[in-house]
Amino acid sequence: MSEKACCHGPGYATPLDALKSGPREKLLYTVTIQPNLDEPHGDYLSTIDVDPESPTYSQVVHRTFSNRKGNELHHSGWNACSSCYYVDENAKSVPKRNRLILPALNSDFIYVLDVATDPRKPEIVKVIDGEVLKKHNVTAPHTTHCLANGNVMISVMGDAEGNAKGEFILFDSEFNCVGTWTKGDRKALCGYDFWYQPYYDVMVSTEWGAPNKFRRGWKNEDLDDMTQYGCRLNFYKWSTQTLYQTVDLGVEGTTPLEVRFLHDPKRPDGYVGCALYAKVFYFKKRADSDEFDVKKVIDIPNKLVDTGSGTASEMGGMISDIIISLDDRFLYVNCWMHGDVRQYDISIPDQPKLVSRVWLGGAICSDLPNVIVKEDKELTERPPPCIIKGRRLEGGPQMMQLSLDGKRLYVSSSLYSPWDKQFYPKMASKGGHVVLIDVDMVNGGMTLNKDFLVDFGKEPYGPSLPHEMRYPGGDCTSDIWLAKDS
């Protein structure tokens, strides 16, 4: 990359620049799922006003409907981010962060939204039919990341028949399909999330499972075939697009989902949250090779719970999201089933220290009459329900988004609507929510903000379920930084 630059692209030069100089968020784009599959407006993108000086603070001010049933919008990503910040002096154009990309897990459609013309009212400008992916023998698109060359890459989890497949699909800057990304004969068994760190010529990906399995809800017997459910980290050589190392995390590492390198582009290490049994693993590149060492650093114990059947069984915490502050000091972890959000000090990266916890509902609340906790290795009493502005929060803490300055953590409640209906049927029928946690960035610590609540039980076409969240100018989970000399 040339040291000279005619100008710069979107985002920020460094993660610390974003933390120190980035503006306070005013809008929060939130992927919102319609659990009523007969409702023709379908899933949508909610624009939430998060400007405390605004008269519509903590309200949905716009909805961009997909107008298609059965999509299951899930995650989102940008056409350009901080990885496009440095622009070569010979570049013909300067990238702009003006398109938000919304893949649909169930329909395999991909929606491209214009967020620049009117940021408060995004508009769908292109719809990519699911057949486009099937022509390349891939389905269930998930994570979207922009690349420095102008392309957009989306991870996928299935083949055209819905069996497990770990792959990535590429689109050019006009959202024409380029094809699949992985080269060579070695392929990942399953797919889900990914993150790249070009300074070390590496990309890491994770694994959920086969669309044929997870789309119908969770079944314990799905783990009988671990070619169709994930338990592995996959490391690729970025320059050659080849898979060179797969690390089996074992039973404890079943369903490794969200993965993050530390934000500093010259750091060779990161974390992955493993959902089912609530473990976090730390990975770090060896000094003398391209191989990575991986070890468990957070172990949240199962609880022995009778949920009303008369028989107690192990309940894992279900870590479905992790997020790292831009100064690489704090790691945030959710437990969707147990009901808490945790803040860890990661100043010593392989020895996370629990600093704070906030309870946001969950499946063991003290007011649930049919639930009996037989054994809990952490708590001496069940947590109370969380009530904000008179509303009892149904479900548990799910996706998180941290403000650039690290002082505000937004938390949604929906994991994936078939699983919501299975584990939290009241949330699926009453609607989910987005709440806000205030964070002490100096000493550590979190406090639930009782003045902020976005209630999705009162939506125009019935209760809905909020999932992933983004800021128009980028955030802690969408932006990847490149070392200037990479």
In the DSSP assignment, the letter for residue 426 is: H
Number of domains in the chain: 1
In a domain, 476, yes or no: no
Residue with tokens 């972890």: 333
In a domain, 360, yes or no: yes
Q: Work out the average pLDDT over 361-389.
A: 97
In a domain, 2, yes or no: no
Could you tell me the CATH number of the domain that includes residue 159? 2.130.10.10
Q: Please name which of 400, 399, 396, 402 lies closest in space to residue 383, comparing C-alpha atoms.
A: 396
Strands 433-439 and 446-455: antiparallel
Q: What confidence tier does 86 reach under pLDDT thresholds 50, 70, 90?
A: confident
Q: What confidence tier does 85 reach under pLDDT thresholds 50, 70, 90?
A: confident
CA distances from 255 to 18, 25, 191, 250 (A): 31, 32, 10, 10
Domain containing residue 342: 18-470
In a domain, 11, yes or no: no
Q: What confidence tier does 66 reach under pLDDT thresholds 50, 70, 90?
A: very high
Q: Please name which of 34, 48, 30, 26 lies closest in space to residue 460, comparing C-alpha atoms.
A: 34
Percent of the chain with pLDDT over 70: 97
Helix, coil or strand: residue 353: strand
In a domain, 461, yes or no: yes
- Whether 48 and 411 have beta carbons less than 8 Å apart is answered as no
Q: Which of 375-384, 423-432, 476-485 has the lowest mean pLDDT?
A: 476-485
In a domain, 160, yes or no: yes
In a domain, 232, yes or no: yes
Concatenating the DSSP letter of every residue in 91-151 gives: -SS-----EEEEEBTTT--EEEEE-SS-TTS-EEEEEE-HHHHHTTT-EEEEEEEE-TTS-
Radius of gyration, CA atoms only, the chain: 21
Average per-residue pLDDT in the chain?
95
Residues with Cβ within 8 Å of 343's Cβ and at least 6 positions away in sequence, in order, are 330, 331, 332, 354, 355, 356, 357, 439, 444, 445, 446
In a domain, 134, yes or no: yes
Nearest-angstrom CA–CA distance, 168 and 191? 9
Q: What confidence tier does 83 reach under pLDDT thresholds 50, 70, 90?
A: confident
Residue 42 has pLDDT above 80, yes or no: yes
Question: What is the reported pLDDT for 15?
Answer: 93
Q: Please name which of 481, 415, 441 lies closest in space to residue 84, comparing C-alpha atoms.
A: 481
